[in-house]
Amino acid sequence: MLTVQSLSKSYTRDKVSLNDVSFDAQPGTITAVIGPSGAGKTTLLRSLNQLIRDDAGTVTLNGENLRLLNKRALQRARRNIGMIFQNYNLIDALTVVENVLHGCLGRKSTLRGMLALYSADERAEAMALIGEMGLSEFAFVQCRHLSGGQKQRVGIARALMQHPQVLLCDEPIASLDPKSATLVMDILRQQADNKQLIVVVNLHQVAIARGYADHIVALNQGAKVFDGTAAALTDARVQEIYG
Ligand SMILES: Nc1ncnc2c1ncn2[C@@H]1O[C@H](COP(=O)(O)OP(=O)(O)OP(=O)(O)O)[C@@H](O)[C@H]1O
């Protein structure tokens, strides 16, 4: 279980961007974080793997408070936390399989990583994941030639190559058309179910959050204003959250 307790963050003295936020996220579930622009969704997500070092609170995974870890221990803990991004963060000049293989760099020696020396097992695993994403025919195509939806599926395969317990997704469908967005969300659902992943996803689309999330956390001006099931997120609550 991923446990967040009393997380707070201020970038500047006069403004609180995350204000005493607490929630749990369970294996095999999708937690959607929603809220208006500037509510603190990205700050929260990036605090979960300590890409942003928060000012107060705890983030606990496997009994470890990530906020207290030194640099080396945090690097090790981050191997359990994959991340996908709105803008994919792929290397466009590399092929799909090369990008996916980058996902296992964190568990390789620096030298093997630098020389891009991957084992037969790692290559087979990358190809299997590419197949799960429905991208087998593109495995040896440079990512620059893919659509946004295809790139996001490469990003998911790369994150899964890391063997994470947690998958953090920062607005993964914000740049996608509705059909590609559905495909990406379907894949996140399958992966959460099949691999008992803890998925935390920032979303702008309330309908998608209601349709896919087991658990919804809503933020407004840095504070948690809703924490419950999709069924409990009534239209009236949505109105309150978005104002
Ligand atoms: N690096 C930074 N320095 C100063 N203030 C920041 C920084 N990053 C974010 N903020 C502020 O913190 C607040 C929360 O920002 P954040 O990006 O987390 O919100 P968000 O809900 O993800 O917004 P959006 O939906 O527009 O991406 C905003 O008021 C933002 O201006």
- Closest by CA position to 130, among listed 142, 115, 120, 140: 140
Q: Quote the ligand 1 centre to 13 CA distance (angstroms).
A: 14
- What is the rounded CA–CA span in Å between residue 37 and residue 171? 12
List Cβ neighbours of 113 (8 Å cut-off, separation of 6 or more).
105
Q: What is the pLDDT of residue 105?
A: 84
What pLDDT tens digit does each residue of the chain (243 aa) get? 999 999 999 999 999 999 999 999 999 999 999 999 999 999 999 999 999 987 899 999 989 999 999 999 999 999 999 999 999 999 999 999 999 999 988 776 666 666 667 889 999 999 999 999 999 999 999 999 999 999 999 999 999 999 999 999 999 999 999 999 999 999 999 999 999 999 999 999 999 999 999 999 999 999 999 999 999 999 999 999 998
Tokens of 45: 């997500």
Please, what are the domains in the chain? 1-80+164-242 (3.40.50.300), 91-163 (no CATH)
Residue 18 near ligand 1, beta carbon < 6 Å: no
How many other CB atoms sit within 10 Å of the CB of residue 78?
20
Q: What is the pLDDT of residue 106?
A: 77
- What is the rounded CA–CA span in Å between residue 241 and residue 243? 6
Q: Quote the ligand 1 centre to 93 CA distance (angstroms).
A: 31
Q: What is the pLDDT of residue 113?
A: 64
Q: pTM here?
A: 0.94
Helix/strand/coil (H, E, C) string of the chain?
A: CEEEEEEEECCECCECCEEEEEEEECCCEEEEEECCCCCCHHHHHHHHCCCCCCCEEEEEECCEEHHHCCHHHHHHHHCCEEEEECCCCCCCCCEHHHHHHHHHHHHCCHHHHHCCCCCHHHHHHHHHHHHHCCCHHHCCCEHHHCCHHHHHHHHHHHHHCCCCCEEEEECCCCCCCHHHHHHHHHHHHHHHHHHCCEEEEECCCHHHHHHHCCEEEEEECCEEEEEECCCCCCHHHHHHHHC
Pocket test for ligand 1, best of 19, 41, 204 (most atoms within 8 A of CB): 41
Ligand 1 atom nearest to CA at 170 = 22
Residue 29 near ligand 1, beta carbon < 6 Å: no
- If you take atom 11 of ligand 1, which residue's CA is the nearest one? 17
Q: What is the pLDDT of residue 54?
A: 78
User: Per-residue pLDDT tens for 150-185?
Assistant: 999 999 999 999 999 999 999 999 999 999 999 999
Residue 133 near ligand 1, beta carbon < 6 Å: no
Give the sign of the dihedral formed by CA 207, CA 210, CA 211, CA 212.
positive
Residue 58 near ligand 1, beta carbon < 6 Å: no
Residue 19 near ligand 1, beta carbon < 6 Å: no
Asked if residues 184 and 173 have their Cβ atoms less than 8 Å apart, the reply is: yes
Residue 43 near ligand 1, beta carbon < 6 Å: yes
Q: What is the pLDDT of residue 53?
A: 86
- The ipTM is 0.97
Q: What is the pLDDT of residue 226?
A: 97
Q: What is the pLDDT of residue 109?
A: 67
Tokens of 180: 């590609």
Residue 220 near ligand 1, beta carbon < 6 Å: no
Tokens of 187: 């894949």
List Cβ neighbours of 118 (8 Å cut-off, separation of 6 or more).
101, 104, 126
